[in-house]
Structure 1
Amino acid sequence: MVSDRIGDMTSPTDFVVGFNADVVQQSRGRTLRVLRIGSIFQLLCATAVGVFAFVLLFLYWPVGIVALSTFAIILWDAQRRLRKVQNLRKVWLDHGVPPVAMRLSSAGLEMSLDAPADRVFLPWPTITGLRVHQWLGQDMLIVDLASGVNANTPGTQGLDHPDVQRAMKKPMHGTRGLHTALKVLDQPSTAIDAAARHFTAGRVGIAQFSPEIGSSR
């Protein structure tokens, strides 16, 4: 059995992993700052292109028209990015930090996204394994899905969420798969590994991976 020594067992049939709220808030703050700085830099670039375009209009108007089009595109994208930052900040303020990051049980694995209402549930047969992937000095816990698993797979929930779709379809943080940073969790990887092996009779556990994608230690 999975014991209290390796995690918060809310019942004999599940193992709960929470978020470290302070770490999550710090990480969100850094993310918002980086996104905001990038958007502001893009706005400055758009301003510079706009000034250059107006100058070109007087010197050689065909080139000036092209430069104005470029200015409009850069400005639109910068404004879109700023709106995205504002929306993300509002979502985080409105919902706070979800109380549960992961819940492992005999039925499968449940994962929380940014909003408490957004959850992903995966029956164990849809999961081929868990692994630790290092990206820019940060350890990420990756959930690898069986081939062909999608939002229509029986028993799954939440795989149609846009964030989940992006993680499944293209590499993020240097690898594919559903992911979460280990540092934001209130349980160590050893406890999560033990719980996963307990509920799957040893089939699913955490494989330790080196920074190079796919190379095992």
Structure 2
Amino acid sequence: MLQDQQEYVVEVDQDVVAAARVRTLRLLRISAWTGVVGGGLILVLAGVMAALATGPLGGTGFMLAALMAVPGVILLASERKKFARIRELQATWERYGLPDVAMRMSAQGLRISVDTAPDHVFLPWLAVAGFHVRTWRGQQLLMLGLAPGVTPASPGVIGLDHPDVQRVLSRKVLGVKGLRFAVPTLRRPLPEIDQAAAYFTQGRVRIS
């Protein structure tokens, strides 16, 4: 019973996380290779156009071929950077391993894990606006909302200045912006997590 607990712990299903990471890397690679193929086709077509550019309009044909090649070069350069980010993501996951716990709730506040910093971020309950569920590419995500004006320097806040935390707060990472937990990776059901948040905050913080 929650009434008998000083801390409520939401563990991570590590098997699900491991499988999700493999799937994510595979999809990212497929996307990158698709871009490489597209860029290559553009360059091939530009080359064919340049080869066929003859006669009085040959100069114009070469110019059009060169202009056509530009998007292909840009696309290939972009996909090269994407492959570098994929390698970086894989190396990060291998270096830090799998987290044991997604979040811990107590009367004092909420402690959460990010990939590179398990149990690193602590938020007093006044810094938490609530949770909501959203779906991205068929996967349910439990999003954590910060109260307006909360910063790494806010009273009681710890770890919000971590680079990986700032990264997900400032821009989309894997298609989503903000602190999030993949629902299938959580070993506790959402209704139970909702009850725990309500219990420790006198009903203020809920999952909407």
TM-score category (smaller protein) = 0.7 to 0.9
Between the two proteins, the alignment pairs up a number of residues equal to 200
Q: 1:199 to 1:153 in 2, by over 3 A?
A: same
C-alpha contact (below 8 Å) 2:112/2:121 kept by paired residues: yes
Q: Quote the residue 2:63 is aligned against.
A: 62
What letter corresponds to residue 27 of structure 1 in structure 2?
A: A
Q: Quote the residue 2:31 is aligned against.
A: 38
CA shift, 1:33, in A, is 0.8
TM-superposition CA deviations, 1:129-178 (whole Å, max 9, x none): 22233444433212122112233323223334455445445678998642
Q: Quote the residue 1:27 is aligned against.
A: 20
Cα distance in 1 for partners of 2:199, 2:35 equals 50
C-alpha contact (below 8 Å) 2:130/2:206 kept by paired residues: yes
Cα distance in 1 for partners of 2:40, 2:172 equals 33
Q: Quote the residue 1:88 is aligned against.
A: 89
C-alpha contact (below 8 Å) 1:102/1:110 kept by paired residues: yes
C-alpha contact (below 8 Å) 2:151/2:160 kept by paired residues: yes
Gaps of 5+ in 2: 54-60
Cα distance in 1 for partners of 2:95, 2:170 equals 29
Under a length normalisation based on structure 1, what TM-score does the superposition of the two structures give?
0.79
TM-superposition CA deviations, 1:83-114 (whole Å, max 9, x none): 11111112112222111111112221121111
Under a length normalisation based on structure 2, what TM-score does the superposition of the two structures give?
0.82
Cα distance in 2 for partners of 1:172, 1:117 equals 18
Cα distance in 2 for partners of 1:21, 1:72 equals 40
SS in 1 for 2:31: helix
Q: Quote the residue 1:100 is aligned against.
A: 101
Cα distance in 2 for partners of 1:170, 1:101 equals 21
RMSD (Å), alpha carbons: 2.7
Tell me which moved more, 25-34 or 102-111: 102-111
What letter corresponds to residue 37 of structure 1 in structure 2?
A: I
Larger Rg: 2
Q: Quote the residue 1:49 is aligned against.
A: 42
SS in 1 for 2:101: coil
2:7 to 4, 10, 14: 14
SS in 1 for 2:2: coil
Are 1:2 and 2:2 matched, yes or no? yes
C-alpha contact (below 8 Å) 1:145/1:177 kept by paired residues: no
Cα distance in 2 for partners of 1:131, 1:179 equals 10
What letter corresponds to residue 103 of structure 1 in structure 2?
A: R
Relative to total residues, which structure has the larger helix share, 1 or 2?
2
Cα distance in 1 for partners of 2:176, 2:97 equals 27
Tell me which moved more, 133-142 or 165-174: 165-174
What letter corresponds to residue 152 of structure 2 in structure 1?
A: A
Tell me which moved more, 14-23 or 112-121: 112-121
Q: Quote the residue 2:57 is aligned against.
A: none
Q: How does 1:145-184 map to 2 (within 5 A)?
A: 145-161=146-162, 163-165=164-166, 167-169=168-170, 177-184=178-185
Cα distance in 1 for partners of 2:28, 2:68 equals 26
